[in-house]
């Protein structure tokens, strides 16, 4: 399964102030850019819950010392795309643009992250938007579900945190508090700059001009704690009245979330675990689709998920099933889990899955925007595309069966969280 990776024009280096720079030249007329600030909601202190996300909003639209908010609006709208996001460990700013606009983007983003204006009018406007975002989230019926699920599964791990934070904190935060939080973490030695596309010959000079003069600050890059094992089986059966089928109550659908611990995303097991999930429920030939979908009519779609970021490995199976047939549906899921443990997967199935992986990696390496995700893996996991493919080369039917027995839970004595949302439950 050897594959040529077009990565010869990749370069990674570090400025004297600690900014990590990753450059990938491609023969295109566009550029995908991303500035990752390793500073997020996990860095909030007590009484700051929600400030990291609020700050992101202020930095995007509030202007800088050199660029007023109106000018900032005009510049942002001249790019193909500009956006930002905050999660527990990182705030990211990303854009898509024509290659001739890269100097403008670098100037814009460096001004806004290092020397924000904190225009009072814009800050108050973003405060209203963030409060609306929090209110929208709390108005969603899944809000309370996610809170309870995360509390029971992550048990104090940072992944339990809500990035949106607390309304009262956002509502009452003054400029001094926002600026103080900004000054603690927005330093070049806490940042990674990724540029992919038709980069100009003087790109390193442009990067130096935009970022090189910024001084180092306290390092906020942290190692997240390892998620501790579940100690017992937890089954929750909750009412979900909004899922009641008023036209045909007998056909009301319940939701099932079955979650259990998996490997972290730098663990060797991750490749075989992804293959296991594909065999279990990844496509129309999977065990769950064939049995629960085509044979028994218990689910239109049933999907396994895997995430291993921030040192917290999570495996989950999610399905909508007939509320009247809940017990049968749960039994059917565990039946297929036991098959994964006891039956060796056909080698042809594994080769087909590897081919899908090969396609997706090739696709990632042919798109500027997707190539950024490849570089993310290189920076976060020290994983090159070649090493990624080598990991997949080691996946065999035996390895898949081994990880199935290692991670998939037994229905009776396994350690897992089964969360049921039932429209027929009083």
What average pLDDT does the structure give for the chain? 94
pLDDT(5) > 80: no
- Tell me whether residue 215 is exposed, middle or buried, using C-beta atoms within 10 angstroms of its C-beta: 0 to 12, 13 to 18, 19 or more: exposed
Residue that is written with structure tokens 């939701």 in the block: 255
Supply φ then ψ for residue 150, to 5 degrees.
-65, -40
* Buried/exposed code over 309-336 (b: 16+ C-beta within 10 A; e: otherwise): bbbbbbbbbbbbbbbeebeebbebbbeb
Instruction: Report pLDDT for 83.
Output: 95
pLDDT band per the 50, 70, 90 thresholds, residue 6: very low
Tokens representing 423 are 């429209």
- d(CA 219, CA 187) in angstroms, rounded, equals 8
Give the residue range(s) of CATH 3.30.830.10 domains in the chain.
10-211, 234-422
Long-range contacts from 279-282, C-beta under 8 angstroms, 24+ separation: 279/340, 279/345, 279/349, 279/353, 279/400, 280/304, 280/317, 280/336, 280/337, 280/340, 281/317, 281/336, 282/353
Instruction: Report pLDDT for 341.
Output: 97
Q: What is the mean pLDDT of residues 85-107?
A: 96
Instruction: Report pLDDT for 275.
Output: 96
Beta-strand relationship, 417-422 and 91-98: unpaired
Kindly report, residue by residue over 185-197, the tens digit of the pLDDT: 999 999 999 999 9
Look at 25-34, 118-127, 350-359, 366-375 and tell me which has the smallest mean pLDDT: 366-375
pLDDT(126) > 70: yes
Q: What fold is seen in the domain 234-422?
A: Cytochrome Bc1 Complex; Chain A, domain 1 (3.30.830)
Q: What is the mean pLDDT of residues 313-337?
A: 97
Q: What is the mean pLDDT of residues 43-48?
A: 96
Which residues are paired to 257 by β-bridges? 318, 419
pLDDT band per the 50, 70, 90 thresholds, residue 99: very high
Instruction: Report pLDDT for 335.
Output: 96
pLDDT(59) > 60: yes
Q: What fold is seen in the domain 10-211?
A: Cytochrome Bc1 Complex; Chain A, domain 1 (3.30.830)
């Amino acid at each position: 399964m050897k594959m040529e990776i077009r990565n010869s024009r990749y370069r990674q280096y570090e400025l004297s102030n600690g900014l990590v720079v990753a450059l990938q030249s491609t023969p295109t007329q566009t550029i995908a850019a991303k500035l990752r600030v390793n500073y997020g909601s996990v860095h909030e202190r007590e009484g700051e819950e929600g400030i990291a996300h609020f700050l992101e909003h202020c930095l995007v639209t509030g202007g800088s010392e050199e660029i007023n908010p109106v000018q900032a609006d005009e510049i942002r709208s001249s790019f193909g795309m500009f956006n930002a996001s905050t999660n527990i460990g990182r705030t990211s700013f990303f854009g898509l643009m024509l290659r001739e606009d890269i100097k403008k983007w670098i100037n814009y983003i460096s001004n806004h992250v290092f020397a924000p204006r904190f225009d009072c009018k814009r800050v108050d406007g973003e405060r209203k938007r963030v409060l609306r975002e929090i209110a929208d989230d709390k108005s969603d019926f899944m809000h309370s579900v996610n809170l309870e699920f995360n509390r029971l599964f992550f048990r104090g791990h940072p992944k339990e945190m809500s990035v949106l934070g607390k309304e009262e904190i956002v509502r009452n935060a003054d400029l001094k508090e926002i600026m103080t939080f900004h000054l603690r973490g927005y330093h070049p030695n806490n940042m990674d700059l990724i540029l992919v596309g038709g980069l100009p010959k003087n790109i390193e000079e442009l990067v130096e001009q935009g970022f090189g003069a910024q001084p180092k600050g306290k390092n906020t890059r942290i190692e997240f704690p390892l998620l501790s094992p579940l100690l017992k089986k937890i089954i929750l059966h909750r009412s979900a009245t909004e899922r009641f089928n008023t036209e045909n109550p007998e056909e009301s659908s319940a939701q099932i979330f079955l979650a259990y611990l998996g490997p972290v995303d730098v663990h060797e097991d991750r490749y075989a675990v992804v293959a296991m999930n594909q065999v279990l429920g990844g496509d129309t030939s999977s065990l769950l689709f064939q049995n629960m979908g085509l044979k028994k009519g218990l689910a239109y779609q049933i999907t396994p998920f895997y995430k291993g970021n921030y040192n917290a490995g999570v495996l989950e199976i999610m399905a909508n099933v007939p509320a009247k047939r809940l017990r049968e549906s749960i039994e059917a899921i565990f039946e297929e889990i036991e098959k994964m443990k006891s039956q060796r997967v056909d080698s042809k199935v594994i080769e087909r899955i590897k081919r899908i992986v090969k396609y997706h990696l090739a696709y990632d390496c042919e798109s500027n925007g997707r190539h950024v995700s490849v570089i993310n893996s290189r920076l976060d996991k020290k994983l090159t595309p070649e090493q990624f493919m080598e990991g997949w080369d080691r996946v065999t039917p035996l390895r898949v069966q081994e990880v199935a027995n290692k991670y998939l839970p037994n229905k009776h004595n396994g350690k897992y969280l089964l969360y049921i949302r039932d429209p027929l439950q009083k």
